[in-house]
Structure 1
Amino acid sequence: MNRPAWQKSSYSAANDECVEVRSAGGLVELRESDDSKVIVRTAPGRFAVFLRAAKAGEFDHHAS
């Protein structure tokens, strides 16, 4: 079975340390580009919630 190619953010440029994503078998798969053995799978709806939160800055670390 051929799976779609992994995609990484255009923000990562030539950096090899980034998160890659693809859609496979009705799920979204994520992996760290420099350690491709570990793959996290989630439902598309849950991934969309995560992306909205990340874009809203909910995971930004602010020093006190």
Structure 2
Amino acid sequence: MSNTNWQKSSYCASNDECIEVRTANGLVELRESDTDGIIVRTTPTKFAAFLQGAKAGEFDHHANSTAR
């Protein structure tokens, strides 16, 4: 079982409300630093596809939508 330490996003605010990521047992794990008990797990391939989509603006419309 190989685990790595949590790494904070380079966009982390000084108030410690950050997205953190690590690898554990061949998976990528993500959590918010202020709610560290909730962990999302995915495969490295799916995480890489998500990052590519985010960089390409694929999810930007979610940030601009209004809550209903």
TM bin, normalised by shorter chain, reads 0.7 to 0.9
TM-superposed CA distance for 1:14, in Å, is 2.1
Residue correspondences, number: 63
Q: 1:1-64 residue pairs with structure 2 within 5 A?
A: 3-60=3-60, 61-62=63-64
Structure 1 unmatched runs, 5+: none
Percentage identity across paired residues of the two chains: 65
Moved over 6 A (4+): none
Deviations 1:14-41 (A, max 9, x none): 2311210001100000001100001111
SS of 2:22's partner is: strand
Which TM-score applies when normalising by structure 1? 0.84
Which TM-score applies when normalising by structure 2? 0.80
